[in-house]
Amino acid sequence: MEKENLPSELKNGSWGKTFKNAFAGCWYAFTTQKNFIVHLLVSLSVLLLALWLQVSYERFLFLVLAVFLGFTVEMVNTTVEKLVDLITDKYHPTAKIIKDLSAGLMLIVSVGTAVIGFLVLFPPLWQRFF
């Protein structure tokens, strides 16, 4: 379908509309996906703990990057799930594999970000309490 034939709500005519659509996507994810709320609460806790422990700027940067990586992959996972649901509303073994792969991607990133959090926060926690 050519761009000029698209309905107006599907055209990105301005920067403002582009950002509005992007924020709408983020809002959808945060208001409909329980994992986003969990990710937000855990991320805020980790970042506040890092501030309390006064971790170095470089270490804090690793945590921030891990947080944004987690949100990004969570949105990709949600996108894949919604796309599969759009294509078929019936059970299909290939659709299941696609959804499982997407969830597996999120699992791998979750484990990786947890390892980053542990490596960044454990040494200063150990020093603070022992």
Q: Give the model confidence (pLDDT) of 59-75 as tens digits.
A: 999 999 999 999 999 99
Q: Please tell me the pTM assigned to this model.
A: 0.82
Given the residues 4, 9, 58, 74, select the one marked as catalytic.
Answer: 74
Cα 89–chain centre separation: 25
Domain architecture of the chain: domains with CATH: 34-129 (1.10.287.3610)
Told to judge if 74 belongs to the known catalytic residues of this protein, a careful annotator would answer yes
Task: Judge whether 55 is annotated as a binding position.
Answer: yes
2 is in an annotated binding site: no
- Band of pLDDT at residue 14, cut at 50, 70 and 90: confident
Q: Is the dihedral of CA 113, 115, 118, 119 positive or negative?
A: negative
Report whether 99 belongs to an annotated binding site.
yes
The whole-angstrom distance between residue 114's C-alpha and the CA centroid of its chain comes to 14
* Cβ-Cβ contacts under 8 Å for 87 (sequence gap 6 or more): 95
The answer to whether residues 17 and 92 touch, using CB atoms and an 8 Å cutoff, is no
**How many other CB atoms are found less than 10 A from the CB of residue 26?**
13
CB 39 within 8 A of CB 71: yes
pLDDT tens digits for range 103-114: 999 999 999 999
